[in-house]
Amino acid sequence: MPVFKIQSLINDLEKDVQYTLTELSTLQHLTQRELLEQPASGKWSIAQVLEHLNGYNRFYLKALEQAVSTSKVSIATEYKTGWLGQYFTKLMQPGENGKIGKKMSAPAEYNFGPGLDTDKVLSEFAAGQKHLLHLLEKARKADMRSVRVPISLTKLVKLKLGDTFRFVVAHQLRHFIQINSIRKQALNINTAPAI
């Protein structure tokens, strides 16, 4: 299993979260129609992707807050991933080519319909990302190895705190690739010559 320098890992995760906030700032300039437009029947709009991430944030930010708040202070400098956390993170991580690997279906409770309040979706995601940055900063002194966080599918399975942060951020990056793909598809549709 990979071993990380804890401070470097947190720095990298914070950079990734900052990237999502930068991307979000460009999305905030889109019209409501652009945010709600589905690239094809049955495919998610940008707003649906963000609401999917909001759904996960509602669960994981609360679980991470509890884990970080109850953690003992740790002076460890290195962190070794758990096998299950590594598996889940690798499943979510975009490939080195920046593409999404295996396609997956979202659980029903994280699959949102097209009629969304885009202002609410955008503001909730921005607030969630700022909260995630705050939790990452607090995690610098937390026990990333021993503290466990339940996963959203079942509270019976728990991941190391560090693995949970890695999974959440990898999941977000995966969906920002999807958002960029949706934007490119919309651009191609809107600029296609009329026949």
What are phi and psi for residue 169, nearest 5 degrees?
-70, -40
The mean pLDDT of the chain is 88
- The residues, ordered by sequence, that sit 6+ positions from 166 with a Cβ below 8 Å of its Cβ are 9, 13, 81, 85, 89
Q: What's the confidence (pLDDT) of residue 136?
A: 98
Least confident stretch, 84-88, 99-103, 106-110, 189-193: 189-193
Which residue is associated with the tokens 């700022």? 130
Percent of the chain with pLDDT over 70: 87
Topology given in CATH for the domain delimited by 3-96+108-191: Four Helix Bundle (Hemerythrin (Met), subunit A) (1.20.120)
Q: For residue 128, give every residue at least 6 positions away whose Cβ sits within 8 Å of its Cβ, in sequence order, or none.
A: 53, 54, 57, 61
> pTM higher than 0.85, yes or no?
yes
Q: How confident is the model at residue 40 (pLDDT cuts 50, 70, 90)?
A: confident
In this prediction, residue 64 has a pLDDT band, given cuts at 50, 70 and 90, of very high
Does residue 184 or residue 188 have the better pLDDT? 184
Instruction: List, for residues 48-60, the tens digit of each pLDDT value.
Output: 999 999 999 999 9
Tokens 């740790």 sit on residue: 74
Angle subtended by helix axes 118-139 and 46-70, to nearest 10: 30
Domains of the chain, residue spans = 3-96+108-191
- Cα–Cα distance, 5 to 16 (Å, whole number): 17
